[in-house]
Amino acid sequence: MLRDEKVQATPDQASFACGYACVTSVLGSEIPAIDGLGFSTAGNIAKMLTLVLILLQLSIARGTLAAGVTEMDECIKILPQCVHELWESNQRGDATNEEELSFGLLAAWMKGLYTKKDPPYLASDLQLRASTLKQLKELASFSLASPDHFKYAIGVGQMLFLYFWWGLHPPDDEDNRLLGPSIEIVSLSASLHTASVAGSCSSPGIAQIEFEARKCPWRWRFVLLLLVEIAKQLAAYKDLKGAAEHFRLAEAHLKTMRMLPYFAHHRSLLPGQGPYRANHNDDLLRSSQHWPVWPRSAWPPLANFLEEHAHIFRAELDRLILADMDYDELFRTVQEQQTEFTPLPKDWGLLDLIRQGNRTAVCPYTPQSCALLEERPEINAHCFSERVPNAGVAFARLLPGSEIKPHFATEPSLAIHLGLITPPGAEMWVANETVTWSEGKAVVFDDTFFHGVRHRGIEARYILLAWICHPCDLHWRSSAQDSSALPLHCDKKMGDSL
C-alpha cells in the first residue's frame, strides 16, 4: 500500500510480502549488474528463472532494479509459466502462494522500469509506456479470462493503478494536468481487483485470521475506491448515467461488505454511511471514534506542538529553498518517486527529517527542526515499527497544476499537515470533506480514509508532513510508556485488539 504524499501506497506496507515492498521501498543500495546471462524466451528457461529469482530477491532488499530489466521482461512475457516454474522449483522468495509471487515479480519489473537510472524512462518515454501498457493489458485479459486465473489479477490491477492512473500519456503541461484518471485504465484495474476479491475474499466462511492474511480488508476497500473514482470522473465528463451506474455499483459492493462477518460491526460501514466513509482504522481500533478530518478538540498533542514551533520549521525550509534556488535538486531528486504518484515525477517532492525513528541526512541543514522532532514519541522509535513503518516527518512540496492520486493508508495512524508556504489553489479531499492549508496552521486527518490532493494555483505549496501513531493505539502507548488517560474518543476496554 499509498501513504499521503509518501512514495507508497496505495495499498499498504502489509500487502504482499513478496510484492509491495518492491513497490514502496525508499531508494536503497544499487543492485549490481549481472552479466553474461542472456537468453531468449524459448531458450534456457532454467537460466532465466534463476536470474529472475536473484533479481526479485535483490529488489525486495530495498534496492532499485537497475540491472537485468531485459531478463525480468522475458519472465513477464510468460508470467504464468514463470510463476509456475519458480513455485514448483521452490524458488519463491518470501511468497506464501503463487498470487504473492506473481505480485512480487510484476512489482519488481515495474519498479525497475520506473526507477532505472538510464533512459528510456517509463515516466516520460511514450514508446516504453505503450509497450509496457500493452503487456499489462494482455496479462489483464488472461487474468479475467477464467476464474482460475484470479491469482494474477491483483498484481496486474495494482500495476495499472500505480503506473498508469492518468493513462498512456500523462499530460505534461500545466494547463492539462488536472484531468483526473483514465476511465479506461481505472475501469480495467477495478475489474481486476474485483476478480481478486471474488477469488480470495468473497466467502463468508473465511476465518478472520485468514481474511486478514489474504489482505481482504484492503482488497474490498480498494475496489470501493476505484468504483467511486470512476463515477466521479464520469460525472466530470457530464456522463451522468455512467456516473450513477458506478455509484450504484459502489453501493452494492458496500452492501456486500456489510454482510461479511469481518465488517459486520464496523461503524464506517453501517447503513447510511456512504462509500467514502470506509477507513482502515475501523479494522484496527474498532470501538474508537474515527473522523476523516479531526476536530481541534480531539487533536493529539503533537499537532499543537507543531503549530507552536511553525516559525522554526518555516525558517529552516526557507533556507533550504534559497540554497536550492538555482538548482531545483532537493525536492526533485533527493527522494525520487517509486511509483506514478503524480502525473510527472517532478510534481511532488519530499525531504525526510525523521524516518524509521531516526534523524536523516537532512538534519545538519535543519538542526532546530530535527531537535524538536526527534524526541516526540508519536514519530520516533517508540512509534516506528512493523505496525507503523511510515512514521516520521518530512517537508513536502507540490507543484502547481498537479494532483496526487487517491489513496489510503492501512496502519493504526494519523497524519498531520502543518502549512508552511500555502498559496491559493491547493486543496485536499478526505472522504467527503475538503481541506485547504494556511501558513502556521495544522490539519489533522485520518489517512486511512480515501484522500487525494489537487493544486489549481500558480505557486508551489510546501507543508511539514507528519505520520504519527494513533493516540488510541495501546501498542504504541505501551511502547511510549504513556500512562496518561485515554482520550474520550478511545475505548479502554477494546483499545487495539489486533
Domain membership flag for residue 245? no
**Cβ partners under 8 Å of residue 441, min gap 6:** 307, 310, 418, 419
In total, the chain counts a number of residues equal to 498
Taking only the tens place, the pLDDT of each residue in 229-264 is: 999 999 999 999 999 999 999 999 999 999 999 998
Whichever domain contains 320, its CATH number is 2.60.120.330
pLDDT at 307: 98
CA dihedral (377, 382, 387, 392) positive or negative:
positive
pTM: 0.86
pLDDT band at 374 (very low <50, low <70, confident <90, very high): very high
Q: Nearest-CA neighbor of 418 among 331, 308, 293, 306? A: 306
Taking only the tens place, the pLDDT of each residue in 119-143 is: 999 998 999 999 999 999 999 999 9
Average pLDDT over all residues of the chain = 84
pLDDT at 428: 98
pLDDT at 387: 86
pLDDT at 277: 92
Do the Cβ atoms of 170 and 119 come closer than 8 Å? no
Domain membership flag for residue 403? yes
124: left (phi over 0), alpha (psi -120 to 50) or beta: alpha
**Cβ partners under 8 Å of residue 461, min gap 6:** 397, 398, 400, 421, 422, 423, 426, 437, 455
pLDDT at 36: 28
Mean pLDDT of 378-384: 91
pLDDT at 55: 52
Helix axes 79-88, 45-60, angle to 10 degrees: 80
Domain membership flag for residue 437? yes
Domain membership flag for residue 431? yes
Domain membership flag for residue 303? yes
Do the Cβ atoms of 134 and 308 come closer than 8 Å? no
Q: Is the pLDDT of residue 177 over 70?
A: no
Do the Cβ atoms of 82 and 105 come closer than 8 Å? yes
Domain membership flag for residue 383? yes
pLDDT at 66: 42
What is the percent of the chain where pLDDT is above 90? 63
pLDDT at 56: 55
For residue 318, give the C-alpha cell.
Answer: 526557507
CA 312 remoteness from chain centre: 30
Mean pLDDT of 311-319: 97
pLDDT at 34: 25
pLDDT at 173: 56
Q: 502525473: which residue's cell?
A: 343
CA dihedral (318, 319, 323, 327) positive or negative:
negative
**Cα-based angle 166, 167, 170 (whole degrees, multiple of 5):** 60
**Among the listed ranges 174-188, 302-316, 463-477, which one has the minimum average pLDDT value?**
174-188
pLDDT at 223: 98
What is the percent of the chain where pLDDT is above 70? 82
pLDDT at 189: 98
User: What type of residue is 481?
Assistant: Q
Domain membership flag for residue 355? yes
Taking only the tens place, the pLDDT of each residue in 209-219 is: 999 999 999 99
253 vs 148: CA distance, rounded Å: 22
pLDDT at 280: 94
Domain membership flag for residue 291? no
Mean pLDDT of 161-173: 84
Domain range spanning residue 430?
296-479
pLDDT at 178: 60
Mean pLDDT of 75-99: 88
How many structural domains is the chain composed of?
Answer: 1
pLDDT at 483: 79
Q: 501558513: which residue's cell?
A: 439
